[in-house]
Amino acid sequence: MKKYILDCVVVANIPLNKRYFLLRVSHPSPFPRMLPGQFVELRVDNSSDVLLRRPISIHDMNYETNEMDLLVQIVGAGTLKMSELKKGDLLNMIAPLGNSFSMPTIDMKHVLLVGGGVGVAPLLLLGRVLQQYSCKVSFLLGARTASDLVQLDSFSQYGEVYLTTEDATVGEKGFVTNHSLLKNKVFDKIYTCGPTPMMKAISAYAKTNNIECEVSLENTMACGFGVCLCCVTDTTEGHKCVCTEGPVFNLTTLKW
Ligand SMILES: Cc1cc2nc3c(=O)[nH]c(=O)nc-3n(C[C@H](O)[C@H](O)[C@H](O)COP(=O)(O)OP(=O)(O)OC[C@H]3O[C@@H](n4cnc5c(N)ncnc54)[C@H](O)[C@@H]3O)c2cc1C
Ligand code: FES
C-alpha cells in the first residue's frame, strides 16, 4: 500500500482524562483509504530529545469531513509533547502503515473485539468497518478504573459494549479474561489489542475454544516501515517485522 508523508492540521485536541487525549486532525487533500489495524508514525516537533517518530493506531476515520482521530495515552516525552498540540498546529505523519485486521467470512455470525488500556484504539475503526458485514459485533473493554474507559459512546454505535475494571468502578471486577461473557456466549472470531498478558490470555481462550483470533502487537518501533528491524518478532513462519508484516497477526502464526 502506498505510504504518504502528510502535514496534517490539528482540528481538536480533547483531553479525555488525566492521561488520555483524542487528537482530531485534517489534511488539505483527501486522506488516502486507511484500514482498521493500520497505524501512523507521528513526528514530534519542537522537542530537543524526541528524535524518532512515534507509532499511533488509527482510531477512527471520517472521510466526509476528511478527519482522522487518534487516541493517545501519555507515557513519555513524545506523547506528552503531542498532548500539548493546539487547534491549527501542524502534525506531520507517515501513513498508512502496517497490515490490517482481516474481515470476517460470511459464515461468521458473532465477532468479539477485546481491548485493554489504550489498546482499544484500533478497535473503533474496526467496529465501524464491521458494520458493513452481517455479523453481530461485541466489544469487551477493560481498564484499571472507570475513568480509563474512554470513547464508550463511540464504541456503542457499532455493537454491544461489555466492561471490566480492576477496581470494580464500572462493569465486572477483574480482567477482561474473567468476564462472564466469555463463559456464556459463543464467538466465531476474536480480534484483540492491548497489554501482552491480556492478549496472551485471550489467545489461550481462543485456542481452547477453537476460535479464530487476530492479535495486534505493539512492539517498540523506530522507522515504522521495515528498515531498522527493531520491531522483529519470531513467528512460526520465521522472523517478521511487526511494522510491515504486522501489527496484526493471526494467532496461529505467533509462538504463544
Ligand atoms: C503499532 C503501534 C500502535 C500503537 N498505537 C497506539 C495508540 O493508538 N495510542 C497510544 O497511546 N499508544 C500507541 N502505541 C504505543 C505508543 O507508540 C508509545 O506509547 C509511544 O511511542 C511512547 O512514546 P513516548 O515518547 O511518549 O514514550 P517513551 O519515552 O518512548 O517511552 C515511555 C514509556 O513507554 C513505554 N513504551 C514505549 N513504546 C511503547 C510501545 N510501543 N508499547 C508500549 N509501551 C511503550 C516505554 O517502554 C517507556 O516505559 C502504539 C504502538 C505501536 C507499535
Ligand atoms: S520499526 Fe523499523 S523495521 Fe519495524
pLDDT confidence band for 185 (50 / 70 / 90): confident
Cβ of 11 closer than 6 Å to ligand 2, yes or no, is: no
Kindly provide the b/e burial profile for residues 159-179, where b requires at least 16 CB atoms within 10 angstroms of the residue's own CB: bebbbbbeeeebbbeebbbeb
Where residue 193 falls among pLDDT bands split at 50, 70, 90? Answer: very high
Choosing from 200, 216, 232, the residue where a domain stops is 216
pTM over 0.95: yes
Q: Predicted confidence band at 96 (pLDDT cuts at 50, 70, 90)?
A: very high
Q: Is the Cβ atom of 227 under 6 angstroms away from ligand 2?
A: yes
Q: How many CB atoms lie within 10 A of CB 138?
A: 18
**What's the 219 CA to ligand 2 centre distance in angstroms?**
9
Q: Are residues 119 and 208 in the same domain?
A: yes
Q: Is residue 195 part of a domain?
A: yes
Ligand nearest to the CA of 231: 2
- List the one residue out of 237, 204, 35, 39 whose CA is nearest residue 114: 204
* pLDDT value at residue 184: 86
54 lines ligand 1 (CB under 6 A): yes
Same domain, 12 and 59: yes
Q: Quick one: 78 and 55 in the same domain?
A: yes
Across 102-133, b (16+ Cβ under 10 Å) vs e yields ebbeeebeebbbbbbbbbbbbbbbbbbbbeee
Based on its alpha-carbon atoms, the radius of gyration of the chain, rounded to whole angstroms, reads: 18
CA torsion through residues 133, 182, 21, 45, sign: negative
| Whether the CB of 223 sits within 6 Å of ligand 1 | no
CA 52 / ligand 1 centre spacing (Å) = 12
Q: Residue 177 is part of a domain; what is its CATH number?
A: 3.40.50.80
pLDDT tens readout for residues 99-157 = 999 999 999 999 999 999 999 999 999 999 999 999 999 999 999 999 999 999 999 99
Domain that holds residue 15: 4-97
| Signed CA dihedral, 84, 89, 94, 98: sign only | positive
Percent of the chain with pLDDT over 70: 100
Residue 212 vs residues 94, 142, 218: alpha-carbon distances, Å: 31, 21, 20
Q: Determine if ligand 2 sits within 6 Å of the CB of residue 91.
A: no
CB 221 near ligand 2, within 6 Å: yes
Number of domains the chain is built from: 2
- Looking at every residue in the chain, the average pLDDT score rounds to 97
Q: What is the whole-number distance in angstroms between the Cα of residue 242 and the centre of ligand 2? A: 7
Q: Whose CA is nearest to atom 27 of ligand 1?
A: 76
CA of 107 to the centre of ligand 1 (A): 36
Position 148 scores a pLDDT of 96
Residue that is written with C-alpha cell 497489554 in the block: 195
Region 190-208 average pLDDT: 97
Q: What is the DSSP string of 208-221?
A: HTT-EEEEE-----
194 CA to centre of ligand 2 in angstroms: 20
User: 26-83 pLDDT, tens per residue?
Assistant: 999 999 999 999 999 999 999 989 999 999 999 999 999 999 999 999 999 999 999 9
pLDDT at 1 over 90: no
Lowest mean pLDDT across 16-20, 46-50, 67-71, 198-202: 46-50
Ligand that comes closest to the CA of residue 245: 2
Q: How far is the CA of 118 from the centre of ligand 1 (A)?
A: 10
Residue 137 lies in a domain: yes
Kindly state whether residues 198 and 142 are assigned to the same domain: yes
For ligand 1, the distance from its centroid to the CA atom of residue 50, given in whole angstroms, is: 13
- The verdict on the CB of residue 229 being under 6 Å from ligand 2 is yes
CA distance 149 to 54: 23
Question: From CA 108, how far away is CA 101, in angstroms rounded?
Answer: 15
